[in-house]
């Protein structure tokens, strides 16, 4: 039975299964922005060990880990069938038993027992692979059925039984659709980005919040999820993410803006949201900045690292070349080469330990200061400020 919802934040540790489930080639990024490439294995119940190509092995406590990506994690783990809760939790289903206005009953892919979830907690019921942009095209606050054609049929969910979906509307009365084809999803309510202490994504696409994780090759314990403590094989884990008060989205801070509009909300809330070439995941939060604007955030010495992916939005025509600049307490700490919308996103990790302020700018064609130019812009995808555990 579903327990109280638990929020979680999605900054991911990729641990895709491989032929040898005891170790994985990949890289780890810590909360202080340090990135290590090598072979990753379990060190203890609370730590990973990464062995670089040169140098000694390094132990990384889960409490101080931001992101670890395995070489086998070439594509985003997606869920083809299952439910997404309004708090962002996702549970992949081997099969649906039935669903109605009271509850959704299913057999999870990696559990043998039936799970019953109150329908009031469910945001979406998925029946097949759907591009993220298809689901994002559904207007906020809507409910109904999303078809494989991209059409959205509004209506109140009535039931799912024997592969048939029923919805009701004032205009058309009761309508029926086959689950999977043509119906790809039932949309019941909005879902929000996930956030919390830990997140585990399984290889079947399930996304589980956890208050703690106990690592073990045979039975890693994902503790205090909305479905209780769940044991899974380490090889069945695709991603682990850390969050909580160790991580703050830069978008949660209010910047001072010079040379532009009083607010960047119009650019940040575009629909569909812009993205960058080379990113495997849809952005959760972005800072989208025109070339004639400079933004400064007060840090007050509270953080140790600034981490993001940066680039020119992929939907723009690649006619303007820009450089992306980050200043810490007025001193330049990062400057990209000339970038256009066809260039891959760049990872950025900058120390801000003890810093009072962080400034983001866009420069045109290598100029030393921001210049006005119609349509030129760049953005920081999922920009994060981190605190090291214990500080």
Strand partners, 30: 65
Which residues touch 131 (CB under 8 Å, ≥6 apart)? Answer: none
Given a contact cutoff of 8 angstroms between Cβ atoms, the answer to whether 232 and 219 are in contact is: yes
| pLDDT at residue 174 tops 50 | yes
Q: Which of 70, 110, 98 is nearest to 222 (CA)?
A: 110
Band the pLDDT of 3: cuts 50, 70, 90.
Answer: very low
| pLDDT at residue 75 tops 60 | no
Please classify residue 62 by burial: count the beta carbons closer than 10 Å to its beta carbon, then call 0-12 exposed, 13-18 middle and 19+ buried: buried
The reported pLDDT for the residue numbered 192 is 85
Distance between CA atoms of residues 58 and 36, nearest Å: 9
Q: 82-86, 127-131, 263-267: which range is least confident on average?
A: 263-267
Beta strand segments in 62-143, E: 65-70, 82-85, 90-100, 103-108, 115-118, 122-126
Distance between CA atoms of residues 311 and 318, nearest Å: 12
Give the torsion through C-alpha atoms of 317, 323, 326, 332, to 10 deg: -170
| pLDDT at residue 372 tops 50 | no
DSSP summary character for residue 179: B
The gap between the terminal CA atoms of the chain, to the nearest Å, is 37
Provide mean pLDDT across the span 98-102: 95
Q: What is the pLDDT of residues 206-254, one digit of tens each?
A: 999 988 999 998 899 999 888 889 898 888 888 888 887 888 999 999 9
SS3 content of the chain, % helix, strand, coil (to 5): 5, 50, 45
The reported pLDDT for the residue numbered 285 is 87
Strand partners, 239: 14, 201
The count of residues in the chain is 391
Given a contact cutoff of 8 angstroms between Cβ atoms, the answer to whether 286 and 274 are in contact is: yes
The reported pLDDT for the residue numbered 198 is 87
Given a contact cutoff of 8 angstroms between Cβ atoms, the answer to whether 68 and 30 are in contact is: no
> Reading across the β-sheet that carries 220-225, which strands appear in turn?
212-214, 220-225, 228-232
Band the pLDDT of 263: cuts 50, 70, 90.
Answer: low
Strand partners, 248: 385
Distance between CA atoms of residues 200 and 217, nearest Å: 15
Cα-Cα-Cα-Cα dihedral sign, residues 268, 269, 272, 273 = positive
Distance between CA atoms of residues 213 and 219, nearest Å: 11
> To the nearest whole percent, how much of the chain has pLDDT over 70?
85
DSSP summary character for residue 53: S
Range(s) of the chain covered by CATH 2.60.120.1060: 247-386
| pLDDT at residue 348 tops 90 | yes
Give the distance from CA 227 to its chain's centroid.
Answer: 21
Q: Count of CB atoms within 10 A of residue 235's CB?
A: 19
The reported pLDDT for the residue numbered 6 is 36
Band the pLDDT of 2: cuts 50, 70, 90.
Answer: very low
* Helices (H), ranges, the chain: 132-136, 265-268
| pLDDT at residue 19 tops 50 | no
Which CATH superfamily is 247-386 part of?
NPCBM/NEW2 domain (2.60.120.1060)
Q: What is the pLDDT of residues 289-346, one digit of tens each?
A: 988 789 999 999 999 999 999 999 998 888 888 999 999 999 999 999 999 999 999 9
The reported pLDDT for the residue numbered 325 is 95
| pLDDT at residue 72 tops 70 | no
pTM above 0.85, yes or no: no
Name the residue with higher pLDDT: 156 or 35. Answer: 156
Band the pLDDT of 272: cuts 50, 70, 90.
Answer: low
Given a contact cutoff of 8 angstroms between Cβ atoms, the answer to whether 7 and 324 are in contact is: no
Distance between CA atoms of residues 305 and 98, nearest Å: 47
Cα-Cα-Cα-Cα dihedral sign, residues 173, 179, 181, 187 = positive
Assign 3-class secondary structure to 219-246: CEEEEEEECEEEEECHHHEEEEEECHHH
Name the residue with higher pLDDT: 24 or 182. Answer: 182
Distance between CA atoms of residues 334 and 68, nearest Å: 23
């Amino acid at each position: 039975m579903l327990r109280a919802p638990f929020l979680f934040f999605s900054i991911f540790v990729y641990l895709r299964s491989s032929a040898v489930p005891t170790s994985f080639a990949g890289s780890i990024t810590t909360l202080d922005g340090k990135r290590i490439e090598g072979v990753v294995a379990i060190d203890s119940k609370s730590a990973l060990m990464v062995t670089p190509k040169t140098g000694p092995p390094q132990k990384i406590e889960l409490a101080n880990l931001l992101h670890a990506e395995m070489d086998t994690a070439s594509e985003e783990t997606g869920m083809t069938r299952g439910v997404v809760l309004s708090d962002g939790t996702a549970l992949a289903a081997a099969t649906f038993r039935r669903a109605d206005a009271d509850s959704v009953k299913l057999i999870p892919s990696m559990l043998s027992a039936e799970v019953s979830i109150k329908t009031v907690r469910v945001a979406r019921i998925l029946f097949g692979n759907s591009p993220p942009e298809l689901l994002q095209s559904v207007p906020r606050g809507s409910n109904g059925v999303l078809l494989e054609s991209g059409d959205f049929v509004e209506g109140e969910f009535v039931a799912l039984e024997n592969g048939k979906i029923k919805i009701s509307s004032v205009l058309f009365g009761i309508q029926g659709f086959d689950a999977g084809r043509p119906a790809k999803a039932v949309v019941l309510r909005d879902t929000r980005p996930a956030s919390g202490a830990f997140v585990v994504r399984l290889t079947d696409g399930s996304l589980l919040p956890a208050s703690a994780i106990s690592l073990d090759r045979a039975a890693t314990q994902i503790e205090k999820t909305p479905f209780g403590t769940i044991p899974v094989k380490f090889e069945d884990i695709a991603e682990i993410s850390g969050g909580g008060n160790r991580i703050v989205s830069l978008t949660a801070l209010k910047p001072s803006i010079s040379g532009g509009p009083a607010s960047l909300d119009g650019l940040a809330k575009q629909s569909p949201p812009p993205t960058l070439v080379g990113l495997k995941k849809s952005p959760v939060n972005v800072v989208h900045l025109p070339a004639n604007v400079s933004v400064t955030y007060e840090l007050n010495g509270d953080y140790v690292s600034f981490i993001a992916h940066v680039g020119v939005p992929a939907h723009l025509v690649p006619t303007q070349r820009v450089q992306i600049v980050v200043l810490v307490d007025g001193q330049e700490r990062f400057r990209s080469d000339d970038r256009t919308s066809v260039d891959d996103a760049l990872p950025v990790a900058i120390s801000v330990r003890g810093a009072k302020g962080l400034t983001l700018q866009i420069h045109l064609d290598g100029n030393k200061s921001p210049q006005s130019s119609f349509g030129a812009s760049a953005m920081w995808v999922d920009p994060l400020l981190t605190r090291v555990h214990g500080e």
